[in-house]
Chains A and B, each alone.
Chain A
């Protein structure tokens, strides 16, 4: 840009060497540790590789196999379902919690901290605690028994009908606190004068929410959306720790399927192809968002 710009502009944007070094050194590190392995991943997705012998080039064979792979279909549907449930619920519940906890009252800090606390814990540690609660003789079943709902008792993680939802709950439990903090910050930024004016005009609370809060939160919504999409697609730890995608693939996500094909079945070519699909999905959503954001900024 400096090269093609006019002389006046190039003088104005000349980059000092120190700044250049600050940009280039991390770029080189990033290129070596991130871009190169990522490109390797793209190359591997076109091969059949067991991790031992040299990879065999198979063209788009892995991708055409995917079309007929019923586990891939399950994992893709589950991933979409995960995105909708995990994303939708964490946004709704996070916003709800933020609205409830935005007023400065005595002891409010305790509730905020309590909701935010799960974010601080390692998700794997969280999952282990939830696993203990979901056990056949764990806390949840014991409570059901105690309140007379013994017939509802369940092997929550071992039943194909409940495993997927049983895994979502710990993930949500953590994400809600995170989204709540984002929304709390957004709510703080809304000018109270707007609400005063609305009250003077006789707007109900619902109308205030609909016509002031929501439009004012637009920029936060964009952040929340991208955080949720990225977090959904990279959700792996909690599922792996609780069910490993089982029983028989009923809680399989694309990420867990990628891991198990690559590192358990040692089909690293097919695993890389799955990784490429995940990348395309994530990149598609984020690029779509960035393009929109830039267009609005212009």
Chain B
């Protein structure tokens, strides 16, 4: 028994040693050479829009694209968490899916820098995209190569949402400035309502980042905000500290369950009148019943320092394509179609319809809410995307940890910011 084991062990050690040297030299991490050209078959469209409404909307777009004749497309809907973690693998594989739903700006740039995205200058010169706004053109251009790498199709806005009927019942009005906002919170609290809902618990801790984003762009401005997220400033700088000092004034009015429930539950609390208002993106309306939609309204995040140019958070969604696609022409045909007013209107019709199309001629759904939202963004001096979109998906968890920690232990803000800077440094330095 012992002899057998000893010799087997020796064999394994030997085999392991031989294997290690052979295998380490041919590593899965090596990237295969890029290839282009045409290999036929439908264009694969990898989508992370897995909520039922959005998925149906995508299916109808693909069906409409297929009906036009010419290239065909095939939709693969992947759960969003899987999609996010697999995206680097998709893009670096030898035979990648062709088109992906994702975000422009620094998130796309991190892939463009590595030459993984298909250059789209030619289709941006075409009739579908040439009318797009200059801001979008800039947003979709890679800073490293100067090439356009992204096709935007819709955007949405963030605002402080509330129920009109509840505000009427409580006898309160929309605030404009920070002081008015704090007064409003005070009034709601005296009526036994938790003034500010959050929804940064469960698997949506990232919702808390919008408070950081907005306070930072109101206190320090959008330029500083973007530079901070790019690693040009430090999270333990006095400017960032000022953001949290401001937050401290509003913190007592936050729903005590803010970090315990996900934003879907926080939406329910808002609709049931247990919380007064909530800083959230329009996507939350997907979870709201249709009859409540008409009762929803929002106001702009209050102005804190009138000297700071007003910026708003308006994340843009759209598509990019893999540089290694074997169906370049068909891929570009699909992207051109997605950029048309027709495709964007089709999407709005089939989804909850609270986003805005990027095509200048595409009609939005025209509800009072959407008209107000469009005005908010169009009157803004600057537009930010969102914490992860202005930095990277890798930086987002550092913010989640820091902000949830702050909301639970606000007195430890000094050490929280030091830790945040240290973990951010590890992300930036790689």
- List the interface of chain A (C-beta within 8 A of B): 1, 4, 31, 35-37, 39-40, 43-44, 48-55, 70, 131, 135-136, 155, 157-160, 244, 246-249, 260, 263-267, 294, 297-298
Contact = CB atoms under 8 A, between A and B. Distances in A.
Contacts of A39: 19-20, 23-24
Contacts of B404: 246-248
B114 A53 contact: yes
7 contacts: A35-B19, A50-B430, A52-B88, A54-B31, A135-B261, A159-B408, A297-B1
B85 A263 contact: yes
A226 B205 CA distance: 36
Interface of chain A: mostly helix, strand, loop or mixed: loop
A266 B394 contact: yes
A49 B430 CA distance: 8
Interface residues of B, number: 51
Contacts of B419: 70
A158 B404 CA distance: 9
Contacts of B4: 1
Given A43-B27, A155-B260, A52 B5 contact: no
B358 interface: no
Interface in B45-96: 85, 88-89, 91-92
Given A52-B114, A155-B260, A160 B408 contact: yes
Interface of B: 1-5, 7-8, 16, 19-20, 23-24, 27-31, 85, 88-89, 91-92, 110-111, 114, 116, 201-203, 205, 256-257, 259-261, 265, 393-394, 396-398, 400-402, 404-405, 408, 419, 426-427, 430
Contacts of A43: 24, 27
A167 B394 CA distance: 26
A249 B401 contact: yes
A159 B201 CA distance: 11
A265 B408 contact: no
Nearest to B403: A248
A266 B427 CA distance: 8
A136 B261 CA distance: 8
Given A52-B92, A264-B394, A247 B408 contact: yes
Contact of A131 (B7, B110, B202, B394): B202
B193 to A, nearest CB: 16
Given A1-B7, A155-B260, A294-B5, 17 more contacts: A1-B8, A35-B19, A43-B24, A48-B430, A50-B430, A51-B92, A52-B114, A155-B257, A157-B201, A158-B408, A263-B85, A264-B396, A265-B427, A266-B394, A267-B394, A298-B1, A298-B2
A160 B401 CA distance: 12
